[in-house]
């Protein structure tokens, strides 16, 4: 990749629209559920699975589930996508509230 292509790729990455929202990770074998929130759902999935592959995820039970069952044993699920433009100043509060709602509804552990 030459310098011009790299600059264009970086510019496209910076201008991409993120998908903020609430997600769940489910262990198929044990039924355990972890719920988290993120500013960019595709990026958080990559980050979590990367740390799990490296054995460096800070959530011990999640890492243990990964170690026992592997990538096929965990399912990443988008629970809700929020529109920051629609919510404007209330966005952070709404994201936090929706996270709490889904944790309670699913009886999940916080991520």
φ and ψ at residue 38, rounded to 5 degrees: -155, 155
CA 49, 20, 72 angle in degrees (round to 5)? 25
Going by the DSSP 8-state scheme, the letter that residue 59 receives in this structure is: -
The CATH number that applies at residue 37 is 3.40.1440.10
Domain annotation covers residue 39? yes
Domain annotation covers residue 7? no
Domain annotation covers residue 12? no
What's the number of domains the chain is made of?
Answer: 1
Instruction: Name the residue range of residue 44's domain.
Output: 19-110
Domain annotation covers residue 9? no
Going by the DSSP 8-state scheme, the letter that residue 30 receives in this structure is: T
Domain annotation covers residue 45? yes
Of the two residues 25 and 15, the one the predictor is more confident about is: 25
Whole-angstrom distance, CA of residue 20 vs CA of residue 2: 32
Residue 102 exposure: Cα atoms within 13 Å on the Cβ side: 23
Domain annotation covers residue 4? no
pTM as predicted: 0.84
For the cut 80, the answer to whether the pLDDT of residue 15 exceeds it is: no
Domain annotation covers residue 55? yes
Q: What is the pLDDT of residues 60-110, one digit of tens each?
A: 999 999 999 999 999 999 999 998 888 788 889 999 999 999 999 999 999
Of the two residues 25 and 2, the one the predictor is more confident about is: 25
Residues near 57 by Cβ (< 8 Å), separated by ≥ 6? 48, 51, 63, 66
Residues near 51 by Cβ (< 8 Å), separated by ≥ 6? 57, 58
């Amino acid at each position: 990749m030459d310098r011009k292509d790299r600059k264009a790729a970086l510019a496209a990455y910076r201008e991409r629209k993120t998908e903020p929202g609430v997600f769940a990770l489910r262990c198929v074998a044990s039924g355990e559920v972890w719920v988290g929130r993120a500013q960019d759902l595709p990026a958080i999935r990559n980050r979590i699975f990367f740390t799990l592959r490296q054995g460096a995820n800070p959530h011990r039970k999640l890492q243990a589930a990964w170690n026992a069952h592997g990538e096929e044993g965990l399912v990443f699920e988008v629970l809700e996508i929020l529109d920051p433009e629609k919510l404007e100043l209330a966005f952070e509060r709404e994201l936090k509230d929706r996270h709490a709602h889904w944790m309670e509804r699913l009886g999940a552990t916080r991520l």
